[in-house]
């Protein structure tokens, strides 16, 4: 690794994550409220893990934060400013999201997958975009795989491409929705380590996960949701070692 000077970017860059705050967020599909009055604060550069049973509203919460689904009431504050007042396209540049099923473009190489949004959305030249995309791929350990298409990559490598693509937009917050749930067991750890590294480098992270070991070790805050509500929130020790509600006790007895 070369020593960074003042004129070249350091190999490992520090992120400047923004604060994220949910205020009485309520979300519905049709007439049914599936998220009720959820309030949550994620301090800049910290990692919050959301745990809870299937159907408890975890994905819906993430979709409200970047407005893939519009909240019914309440507010989302990004760096103190209402995200509901920001144009959805702008918001999605500021908030990166990584899904369970990668959602890569199958006919494009890893490099193109990372670079595409940079020239189509961010308006960079193709050369600039490719250059930045190459750096991002190297950062997630995929420099050698830049010219492979998704089908020629493992699930873990595909998810790294998806993470590199989100990071290339220089987001202030990263959302992860069960990012490792579709991976073969032996590939999970590498992706979790990559995610933990982003948190350590100052990214603000909101992570929906079934990986209780990751939540315990990496999270600054853990939030337990059930039936569209936040039931408990606190440090990993609070939730895992001293669960107060019967619902969390039952959930932990099922997953641990």
Q: Which residues bind ligand ADP (CB under 6 A)?
A: 29, 34, 52, 54-60
To Mg ion, the closest distance from the beta carbon of 83 in angstroms equals 20
To ligand ADP, the closest distance from the beta carbon of 26 in angstroms equals 13
Q: Which does 7 bind (CB under 5 to 8 A by kind): Mg ion, ligand ADP, none?
A: none
Residue of 211, 178, 174 lying closest to 42 (CA atoms): 174
List, in order, residues 6 or more apart from 90 with CB less than 8 Å away: none
Q: Which does 124 bind (CB under 5 to 8 A by kind): ligand ADP, Mg ion, none?
A: none
Which of 204, 209 has the CB closer to ligand ADP?
209
Residue of 245, 2, 8 lying closest to 131 (CA atoms): 8
Which of 35, 191 has the CB closer to ligand ADP?
35
To ligand ADP, the closest distance from the beta carbon of 29 in angstroms equals 3
Residue of 94, 24, 29 lying closest to 60 (CA atoms): 29
Q: Does 159 bind Mg ion (CB under 5 A)?
A: no
Q: Does 180 bind Mg ion (CB under 5 A)?
A: no
Q: Which does 60 bind (CB under 5 to 8 A by kind): Mg ion, ligand ADP, none?
A: ligand ADP
List, in order, residues 6 or more apart from 22 with CB less than 8 Å away: 38, 39, 40, 41, 61, 64, 65, 74, 75, 76, 77
Taking the CB of residue 158, how many other CB atoms lie within 10 A of it? 27
Widest Cα–Cα separation across the chain: 58
To ligand ADP, the closest distance from the beta carbon of 161 in angstroms equals 23
Alpha carbon dihedral 188, 190, 191, 192, in 10-degree steps, equals 80
Q: Which does 199 bind (CB under 5 to 8 A by kind): Mg ion, ligand ADP, none?
A: none
Q: Does 56 bind Mg ion (CB under 5 A)?
A: no
Which of 5, 54 has the CB closer to ligand ADP?
54
To ligand ADP, the closest distance from the beta carbon of 54 in angstroms equals 4
Q: Which does 113 bind (CB under 5 to 8 A by kind): Mg ion, ligand ADP, none?
A: none
* C-alpha pair distances (Å), 103 with each of 52, 98, 127, 214: 24, 9, 24, 23
To Mg ion, the closest distance from the beta carbon of 179 in angstroms equals 11
Residue nearest to Mg ion (CB): 59
From candidates 59, 113, 157, 180, binder to Mg ion by CB under 5 A:
59
Q: Which does 57 bind (CB under 5 to 8 A by kind): Mg ion, ligand ADP, none?
A: ligand ADP
Binding-site ranges for Mg ion (CB under 5 A): 59
């Amino acid at each position: 690794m070369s020593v960074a000077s003042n004129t070249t970017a350091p190999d490992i860059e520090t992120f400047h994550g923004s604060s994220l705050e949910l205020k009485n967020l309520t979300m519905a599909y049709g007439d049914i409220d599936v998220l009720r009055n959820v309030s949550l604060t994620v301090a800049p550069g910290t990692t919050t893990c959301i745990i809870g049973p299937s159907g408890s509203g975890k994905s819906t919460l993430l979709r409200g934060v970047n407005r893939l689904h519009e909240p019914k009431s309440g507010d989302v504050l990004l760096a103190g400013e209402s995200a509901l007042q920001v144009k959805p396209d702008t918001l999605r540049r500021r908030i990166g999201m990584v899904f369970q099923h990668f959602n890569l473009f199958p006919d494009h190489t890893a490099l193109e997958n990372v670079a595409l949004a940079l020239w189509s959305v961010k308006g960079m030249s193709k050369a600039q975009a490719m250059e930045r995309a190459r750096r991002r791929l190297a950062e997630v350990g995929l420099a050698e795989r830049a010219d492979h298409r998704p089908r020629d990559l493992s699930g873990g490598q595909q998810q790294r491409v998806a993470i590199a693509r989100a990071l290339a937009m220089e987001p202030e917050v990263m959302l992860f929705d069960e990012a490792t749930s579709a991976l073969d067991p032996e590939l999970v750890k590498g992706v979790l380590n990559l995610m933990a590294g982003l948190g350590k480098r100052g990214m603000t992270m909101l992570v929906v996960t079934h990986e209780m070991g990751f939540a315990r070790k990496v999270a600054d805050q853990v939030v337990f949701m059930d039936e569209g509500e936040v039931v408990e929130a606190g440090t990993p020790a609070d939730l895992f070692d001293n669960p107060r509600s019967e619902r969390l006790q039952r959930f932990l007895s099922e997953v641990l």
